[in-house]
Amino acid sequence: MEYTYTAYTKDNRLVKGKLEAASQEAAAQALNFGGYQVINLKQVSPFINFGGLTLTKNSAGAKDVLMFSRQLALLLESGTDLVSSLELLQKQITVKILQKILTEVIHDIRSGSSFSAALSKHPKTFNTMYCQAMAAGEQAGNLDVVLRQMSEYLEREVTTGKKVKNALTYPIMIFVLAIAVVAVLSIFVLPTFVQMFSSFGATLPLATRILMGLADWLSHYIIYIIIVLAIIGVALWAYIRTPGGRLWWDTLSLHLPVLGRVNILNELSRCCRTMSLLFKVGLPLPEILAQAIRGSGNKAFSNALTEVQEQLIRGEGLSKPMSRNPLFLPLMVQMVGVGEETGNLDTALTTVALSYEQEADDRTSAMVGMIQPVLTIGIALIIGFVAVAMISAMYGVYGQISL
């Protein structure tokens, strides 16, 4: 397998490259042996991953990991040892894949492996950030505290995702309903009226002629329209799969009117949460930023974090590099600067995350509240136009017949 890496040498010189290795652990060991301090290491994804096209679920969801973390923290806080706690959870968990993973984790621990190393063998369920947080907790002897912090972090992630999903459900349903109504009117209702009006040979009103002309045009060219849209969609999808296309798409998503601000706020709040959590467990700032880069789903934002990381390694601190990039909003830059000066960076980042999460929620609610009436008015106009065209035609035909 091929991996890309970002690392720095003993003289703090940043290097990037690719290498072949049997696993991520083997790649990390090879880089460490070569004298590199790894700060970012990830597998290169193929253009189309046929291996991922499977109907079998091979990883646990965020909710499952959240419940596992919370319950394990409770057991460790009560004084139960790690292996006994894991065995107890393995028996009571109903998620089959998580049961299987815990069985393997328990076996690895009994064989002499650490908890974090055992979890790292299941990266689809326990990501790198989770495993490194557990490793820091093991070294500091406060694994229960780290698990509690991680469960709080995951809970906020799950809650945020649920809010966004719930907010978009109603507008999507309205949009689908609108398409269905227009399709039924165009395919089943309108042709019947067209045949009836044609048989009378009457002069039809303008609205009816426009509607009938549009329906006739669609009936002749709908296949071509679908083909063109499909080609455009596939071409866009293929372009976004490329590094340049992904960067273009992610940059666009951060500069859209209304939605762009929400995307920036969500990225910043997630970044602040990640950094605050990892700072609490004792990871160094370069590694914290590496984890934040991995956790970002936006290429433009991860590039901005990478620039901050490079300048941090050169000794410029955290807030100063952030101030040079407009993606990092003023509140975050100021609070990070205060956190660096006072030594309370985790508290400052948590405050920023709370502020941005609240603003993102408010803006999302306002955006959804704006979408709903716009869609409703749009549907009413379309259906109203169809109704007026048909009714006016009926009255016009009856009037000409009566004459």
Residue 127 is predicted with a pLDDT of: 80
pLDDT in tens, 224-259: 888 999 999 999 999 998 988 999 999 998 998 878
CA–CA dist 312, 14 (Å, integer):
11
Q: What is the DSSP string of 269-303?
A: HHHHHHHHHHHHTT--HHHHHHHHHHH---HHHHH
- The helices-and-strands tally (H runs, E runs) of the chain is 16, 3
What is the pLDDT of the chain when averaged over all its residues?
A: 80
Was domain 2-46 assigned CATH 3.10.20?
Answer: yes
The answer to whether the pTM exceeds 0.85 is no
Cα–Cα distance, 314 to 85 (Å, whole number): 43
pLDDT at 248: 93
The pLDDT, as a whole number, for residue 129 is 75
Q: Tens of pLDDT along 180-189?
A: 777 676 667 7
- Given a cut of 70, whether residue 216 has pLDDT beyond it is yes
Read off the pLDDT of residues 149-166 as tens digits, 9 standing for 90 and up.
Answer: 888 878 877 777 777 677
Which helix or strand (DSSP H or E) is residue 43 part of? strand 37-43
List, edge to edge, every strand of the sheet that includes 14-20.
14-20, 2-8, 37-43
Residues near 38 by Cβ (< 8 Å), separated by ≥ 6?
5, 6, 7, 28, 31, 32
Same fold, 2-46 and 149-403: no
Phi/psi for 41 (5° steps) reads -145, 120
Please give the pLDDT value at position 263.
87
pLDDT at 55: 39
Report the percent of the chain where pLDDT is more than 90. Answer: 16
Domain ranges of the chain: 2-46, 62-126, 149-403
**CATH number for the domain running over 149-403:** 1.20.81.30
Per the model's pLDDT, the better-predicted residue between 192 and 130 turns out to be 130
pLDDT tens-digit series, residues 7-50: 767 666 667 777 766 667 667 766 776 677 776 677 765 444 44
Q: How high is the pLDDT of residue 54? A: 40
| pLDDT for 26 | 65
